[in-house]
Structure 1
């Protein structure tokens, strides 16, 4: 049933002139960073990323249709990379660059789709933060499926603003079908869109995602209702009071609390920009406000679902693995705070603290990762008894463990990327720090005058 005719979003021209020198510097930083990601950083070849790779290899070489629980929708899109690698006898090298190439394609689409709807300096800061100062910096190292889902949802939501509604929702549906647990998040985001445009027909987008999930299950396992998670979908019994239970058995109160506030898995530390107040700053950026609301709805859906999952932590994976998409609204909120200068000294100070933490999240994820942490939390290589240490103790969080254990032996490429990341961080920090210096200077002048007027 149609309630109101849907309107095509208006185009909003950037409010500020773009600085050519800044544009060239920032574009250069983005390109150089992607080159570093592709050629300087080692790839992660473990976990279910390696399982997905071997499933794809078996499908392409032997025609073996995998029956395992991990979706093959995302990996199938990396087939061209695998084929190129096969020709040059390096299929693993090429295929493991899939996620950074997805990230490159995603930000390129965001730039060309939004460059006439949002101020370009703001858009470039958003891209810099998303790529190099967020959880994406670590996720792009492997072959896991979260990047595929996050990028396709990002592309789809941005495409909505351009009026390409059908293709936009199809893109979102494909991305979500690759991670079926994201279906509730898509449903919540779709509900927000339906509320905005007053057209109920877009509920069909969720139906399309469900159909894709069921079709894959039917083709691979013979039943549209067989997900592959029916067996062994639980962890071992540990000191944690709700461990050892299957499926969505975790108390949502404790799960959400841990996914937000825990030192090793909490969004407060891994995506701090998510908690910055930016609603008032977006009042003159209609496109930005609409996107931000859609992104927040998707994150809330993920948070509520995974807050009930027995493996809410993502096990030994670095940070809140399943909540990668939270990096999108977090980076955007932080970019808005860095871009707009009409803020108080306290607001700028908060921005600097959040920006500094976000930069460290990106550098830590790309260069240090969590390679050494599992040795402490999973000393026998399989058990989970020590896992709470890494979930809740700051000393053993992936973010802070390098300061405890000392800097491990880095490759030359990692050292180069670390230097590059520090340069990007300094560039991003310059604006807010200069604003704080301006506030201090404003305060210092009357304070000095009062001191000179004081008589002993």
Structure 2
């Protein structure tokens, strides 16, 4: 199925791409990935450890695990598990699985969209996704959110290339790894059906449901057994709606917290998501259609997890379950940086959002949230201090390093931090120069007025 895409107008031709800038930005991306591979330590705890043990049980003993965490994503990492067994480097390859997924997703986005979107815009999007988004922290672990986010990203991009069935199958596989994302997929599919006027794409959601039920049947003996039937609730704390099971949290408070809370809010971890860009995308049909699909998926996740008792993601850094929000957030920031016909106020807002995004990316990669649980979960039993990390800025993972000094960094982390700051300065240069130009325009008449003032 071919989707007609309107090419950008003459003032932003696709072929208008400075070779020197292209090589510099490509080099920054490649070097950044190399730093992630060799400089940053891996996280091996929580759900990621459970998924790894499940994969090991399946491949080493042939035991089909009955646990609640999906095995769809970990199964695709089986080649890495086999490599580490052959070369004798336990866990080294598998714990870099999410990073390899990010590399593969970025590569696919580039080759699929390089002739559909302006290449400078596309490279800026990739730079932001790699260095200034929540992916920097998630790629450190073996958790399942990266697999779902990257496959949904790849699948939606494939749709724009006329590969509708492969694209939706990719999305369905990604969502099957996170069954709670089914409502988000349904909302995104509804947006696609509205755009193309074809009801048959509801079959994509049916395929995802079938995959979820098939895995449940194979592993737990029933297509309706989720694995969350028992022990699916948190401890009772000072929070008025704590201790309830399942999706029992009041959606009003859950959505407010997932957007505005200092420790878990998208406003602080993915600020680009709240920048208005649809008007700027009016000449980029492919970008506008992708952005709308991505937003629909994020809204679906937000509404679903706003009702979940563990909406916060507990100890995990930031809004754990809303990782995919980093995709439209990075794209919106890239569009704002790429377009130069903005007002001073618009450039100021862009600079603020960009600076916060760059810090979120660096913080997630280098500092993470290792020290924060010591404050909010000191005995790991009461959990009474948890609201401190959710709502208080001093104990947010983003700001706690400035309060407590953070953990001692390794040499590799210092190197990556310095490199990340350099990339952040590069990303900030354009918007800052434009903002300085606006200020200069204001300063000249203001100075003339001051000179003319008499007592």
Normalising by structure 2, we get a TM-score of 0.97
Distance of 1:346 and 1:43 partners within structure 2: 40
| Structure 2 CA distance for partners of 1:441 and 1:233, relative to 1, 3 Å | same
C-alpha deviation, 1:202, in angstroms: 0.1
Structure 2 regions of 5+ residues with no counterpart? none
Q: Which residue of 2 aligns with 1:313?
A: 312
Q: Which residue of 2 aligns with 1:9?
A: 4
**Which digits, 9 at most, give the CA deviation of each residue in 1:409-428, with x for residues without a partner?**
10010000000100000000
Distance of 1:346 and 1:97 partners within structure 2: 41
List aligned pairs for 1:122-271, cutoff 5 A. Answer: 122-271=121-270
Distance of 2:413 and 2:216 partners within structure 1: 40
Is the aligned partner of 1:347 residue 2:346? Answer: yes
Distance of 1:176 and 1:30 partners within structure 2: 28
List aligned pairs for 1:88-103, cutoff 5 A. Answer: 88-103=87-102
Distance of 1:382 and 1:71 partners within structure 2: 27
The answer to whether the Cα contact below 8 Å between 1:81 and 1:91 also exists between their aligned partners in 2 is no
Distance of 2:406 and 2:341 partners within structure 1: 39
Aligned with 1:12: secondary structure?
coil
Distance of 1:449 and 1:403 partners within structure 2: 42
**Which digits, 9 at most, give the CA deviation of each residue in 1:173-225, with x for residues without a partner?**
00000000000000000000000000000000000000000000000011100
List aligned pairs for 1:271-282, cutoff 5 A. Answer: 271-282=270-281
C-alpha deviation, 1:383, in angstroms: 3.2
C-alpha deviation, 1:382, in angstroms: 3.5
The answer to whether the Cα contact below 8 Å between 1:134 and 1:331 also exists between their aligned partners in 2 is yes
Structure 1 regions of 5+ residues with no counterpart? 1-5
Distance of 1:447 and 1:15 partners within structure 2: 38
C-alpha deviation, 1:451, in angstroms: 4.2
C-alpha deviation, 1:131, in angstroms: 1.2
C-alpha deviation, 1:111, in angstroms: 0.3
Between 1:65-74 and 1:403-412, the stretch displaced more is: 403-412
Q: Which residue of 2 aligns with 1:3?
A: none
C-alpha deviation, 1:385, in angstroms: 1.4
**Which digits, 9 at most, give the CA deviation of each residue in 1:332-356, with x for residues without a partner?**
0001001100001111011000000
Task: Provide the aligned length of Structure 1 versus Structure 2.
Answer: 451
Q: Which residue of 1 aligns with 2:324?
A: 325
The answer to whether the Cα contact below 8 Å between 2:128 and 2:330 also exists between their aligned partners in 1 is yes
**Which digits, 9 at most, give the CA deviation of each residue in 1:251-284, with x for residues without a partner?**
0001001000101000011110000011111111
**Which digits, 9 at most, give the CA deviation of each residue in 1:347-385, with x for residues without a partner?**
101100000000000000000000010111111124321
| Structure 2 CA distance for partners of 1:7 and 1:28, relative to 1, 3 Å | closer
Between 1:88-97 and 1:437-446, the stretch displaced more is: 437-446
Q: RMSD between aligned alpha carbons? A: 1.2
Distance of 1:96 and 1:269 partners within structure 2: 27
The answer to whether the Cα contact below 8 Å between 1:263 and 1:269 also exists between their aligned partners in 2 is yes
Between 1:70-79 and 1:88-97, the stretch displaced more is: 88-97
Distance of 1:39 and 1:191 partners within structure 2: 42
Distance of 1:279 and 1:172 partners within structure 2: 24
Aligned with 2:311: secondary structure?
coil
Q: Which residue of 2 aligns with 1:300?
A: 299
Is the aligned partner of 1:118 residue 2:113? Answer: no
